[in-house]
Amino acid sequence: MTTTAIQHTGSVLREAVILTGRSTRHWRARPVTFSVQLLFPVLIMLLMGGLLGGAIAGTTGDYIVFVVPGVLAFTVLSGIETTITAVTGDAAKTVTDRFRTLPISRGSVLLGRVFADMLTAAVELAVVSAAGLLLGWRPEGGIAAIALTYALLLWLRFGLLWAGVWIGLKAGTPEAATTTQLAIWPVAFLSTVFVDPRTMPSWLGAAAEWNPLSATASAARELLSGGELPGVTAVSDHAVLFALGWPLALTLVFVPLAIRAYRRLS
Amino acid sequence: MDLQANPRGSICARAVRKTYPGREKPSLAGVDLLVDAGRVCALLGANGAGKTTLVRILTTLTGQDSGTVSVNGWDVVRDPARVRASIGVVGQYAALDEVLTARENLELFARLIGLSRAAARSRAAELLEQSGLGEYAGQRVSGFSGGMRRRLDLVTSMITRPAVLLIDEPTTGLDPVARRTIWAAVRSLADHGSTVLLTTQYLEEADELADDVVILREGTVVATGTPSDLKALVGEPRMELREPTLEDVYLHLHTGSTAA
Ligand SMILES: Nc1ncnc2c1ncn2[C@@H]1O[C@H](COP(=O)(O)OP(=O)(O)O)[C@@H](O)[C@H]1O
Ligand SMILES: [Mg+2]
Q: Which helix (H) or strand (E) holds B171?
A: none
Residue B39 in any domain: the answer is yes
| pLDDT over 60 (residue B233) | yes
Considering only CB atoms, B60 lies closest to which of A25, A101, A108, namely A101
Domain containing residue B177: CATH number = 3.40.50.300
Q: pLDDT band for A57, please (50, 70, 90 cuts).
A: low
Residues of chain A in contact with residue B112, where contact means CB-CB under 8 angstroms, are 15, 18-19, 99, 102, 104, 108
Distance between A52 CA and the closest CA of chain B, angstroms: 39
Mean pLDDT of B171-197: 89
Q: Is the same domain home to B25 and B70?
A: yes
Calculate how far, in angstroms, residue B44's C-alpha sits from the geometric centre of ligand 2: 11
Q: Which helix (H) or strand (E) holds B88?
A: strand B87-90
Distance from C-alpha of A74 to C-alpha of A125, rounded to nearest angstrom: 10
Residues B243 and B73: beta-carbon distance below 8 Å: no
Domain containing residue B132: CATH number = 1.10.40
Q: Is the same domain home to B76 and B129?
A: no
pLDDT value at position B205? 92
Q: Is the same domain home to B178 and B219?
A: yes
Q: Is the same domain home to B21 and B132?
A: no
Calculate how far, in angstroms, residue A89's C-alpha sits from the geometric centre of ligand 1: 22
Give B191-228 pLDDT, tens digit per residue: 888 999 999 999 889 999 999 999 999 999 999 999 88
* Domain with B114 in it: 95-161
Query: For ligand 1, is residue B93 a contact (CB within 6 Å)?
Result: no
CA dihedral A26, A28, A30, A36 (to 10 degrees): 110
> Is the ipTM here above 0.90?
no
Distance from C-alpha of B107 to C-alpha of B121, rounded to nearest angstrom: 6
E strands, B91-203, are 164-167, 195-200
DSSP designation for B210: -
Count structural domains, chain B.
2
Distance from C-alpha of B16 to C-alpha of B231, rounded to nearest angstrom: 27
pLDDT value at position B260? 42
Rg value, chain B, Cα: 19
Residue B217 in any domain: the answer is yes
* Binding-face residues of A in 237-266 toward B, CB within 8 A: 265-266
Residues of chain B in contact with residue A93, where contact means CB-CB under 8 angstroms, are 93-98
| pLDDT over 80 (residue B70) | yes
| pLDDT over 50 (residue B259) | no
Considering only CB atoms, A266 lies closest to which of B61, B96, B97, namely B61
A18 touches B: beta carbon within 8 Å: yes
B144 touches A: beta carbon within 8 Å: no
Residue B2 in any domain: the answer is no
Calculate how far, in angstroms, residue B47's C-alpha sits from the geometric centre of ligand 2: 7
Distance from C-alpha of A234 to C-alpha of A205, rounded to nearest angstrom: 12
Query: At a CB cut-off of 8 Å and minimum separation 6, what does B206 contact?
Result: B42, B44, B200, B213, B227
Give A164-219 pLDDT, tens digit per residue: 999 999 987 888 777 877 888 888 888 888 888 888 888 888 888 888 899 999 99
Distance between A170 CA and the closest CA of chain B, angstroms: 15
Among A179, A217, A241, which residue's Cα sits nearest to residue A76? A217
Q: pLDDT band for B9, please (50, 70, 90 cuts).
A: confident
Identify the residue whose C-alpha is closest to ligand 1 atom 14: B50
Q: Is the same domain home to B128 and B227?
A: no
Give A17-55 pLDDT, tens digit per residue: 999 999 999 999 999 999 999 999 999 988 887 777 666
Of B161, B185, B214, which residue constitutes the final position of a domain? B161
Q: Is the same domain home to B35 and B51?
A: yes
* Binding-face residues of B in 179-238 toward A, CB within 8 A: none
Considering only CB atoms, A18 lies closest to which of B89, B93, B112, namely B112
**Cβ–Cβ contacts within 10 Å for residue A249, how many?**
11
Q: Is the same domain home to B77 and B105?
A: no
Which atom belonging to ligand 1 lies closest to the Cα atom of B62? 1
Q: Indicate the length of chain A as a whole number.
A: 266
Residue B120 in any domain: the answer is yes
Residues A102 and B110: beta-carbon distance below 8 Å: no
Distance from C-alpha of A14 to C-alpha of A11, rounded to nearest angstrom: 5
Distance between A107 CA and the closest CA of chain B, angstroms: 13
Q: Is the same domain home to B249 and B177?
A: yes
Query: At a CB cut-off of 8 Å and minimum separation 6, what does B84 contact?
Result: A101, A102, A103, B59, B60
Residue ranges per structural domain of chain A? 14-263
